[in-house]
A and B are shown apart, each in its own frame.
Chain A
Amino acid sequence: MNIKILFFAGLREALGTGSEALALPTGIATVGALRDHLAARGEAWTALATTKNLRAAVNQHMVGAEAAVKPGDEVAFFPPVTGG
């Protein structure tokens, strides 16, 4: 079962995509590990490692890097929010 990954705002633009479906790689069990896995693709994907104060959400709840990720989850990465 895949996970759904979403990207927003400047990160979405840097990556050139707003979403992807990914079979959760073996050994990737946390948001932080998933972030590192994606950043390791290199080129534009290094934005996941270099974006200052990158935020993440799992199933639409803001979480920290230590939060668990399991098959079927919706995981989102985005820069700090600037609404209001």
Chain B
Amino acid sequence: MSVSVQEADFDAGAEIAALSAGRDDVGAVASFTGLVRADKQADAAVAARVGADETPALQGGRAKDALLAVADDAPPAVQVMTLEHYPGMTEKALEAIVDEARGRWDLYGVRVIHRVGRLVPGDRIVFVAVASAHRGEAFAACEFIMDYLKTRAPFWKKEETPDGGRWVDARESDDHAAGRWDAGK
């Protein structure tokens, strides 16, 4: 089973070990673990508004004003994230990405895990590990799988903020990251 979509957490160390268990031809295992990251934009906006050159006595009151202002126009800090997916298609899409990676590089093993459901900052969300004879193929295939996963696997993130739910927008940089693998094809 090379692809899993699950609510449960995973043990990256155990998954990495499994890729070379019982065989002596694996020379490299490259892995990537993605985590849910807290949104620091609101905090940074407060710091910028308060200013570093004011006296500490002023900063107390100003910081409070700034916090109130930030609440109006800065993205609210992310508390909780919910991952939606397309059961059936998601697994197929991930398997197709793994097959494409196997067609491009000589890989001995691949493992992809993507979590769904409710996740909080600090939680593991995605895992990709690739085993091969040499590090070059392992590194490249691992990055390729992540880049394609970002643009081709049907997952959607919804952030729960103090102001309500907010669907995350797709990023053009992800399309560019996936697109660069086509250039050398």
Contacts and interface: CB of A to CB of B under 8 A. Distances in A.
B175 to A, nearest CB: 9
B78 to A, nearest CB: 13
A82 B154 CA distance: 8
Given A76-B86, A83-B150, A84-B149, A10 B155 contact: no
B62 interface: no
A62 B94 CA distance: 12
Interface band, chain A: 10 to 19
A83 B167 contact: no
Given A57-B89, A62-B93, A80 B146 contact: no
A50 interface: no
B181 to A, nearest CB: 15
A83 B157 contact: yes
A8 B155 CA distance: 9
Given A8-B154, A8-B156, A62-B152, A83 B88 contact: no
B84 A8 contact: yes
B31 to A, nearest CB: 14
Given A60-B89, A79-B170, 16 more contacts: A6-B86, A8-B154, A9-B84, A57-B154, A60-B93, A61-B92, A62-B93, A78-B154, A78-B156, A81-B152, A81-B154, A81-B155, A81-B156, A82-B155, A83-B114, A83-B126
Contacts of A81: 150-156, 170
B102 interface: no
Q: Chain B at the A interface: mostly helix, strand, loop or mixed?
A: mixed
- Which of A61, A79, A83 has the most C-beta atoms of chain B within 10 angstroms of its own C-beta? A83
B120 interface: no
Given A9-B167, A83-B83, A83-B150, A76 B89 contact: yes
13 contacts: A9-B158, A9-B167, A60-B86, A60-B89, A61-B92, A62-B93, A79-B167, A81-B153, A81-B156, A82-B167, A83-B149, A83-B150, A84-B126
Nearest to B175: A80
Nearest to B115: A83
B86 A83 contact: no
B85 interface: yes
Given A8-B156, A9-B158, A10-B167, A84 B150 contact: yes
Nearest to B114: A83
Nearest to B94: A83
A53 interface: yes
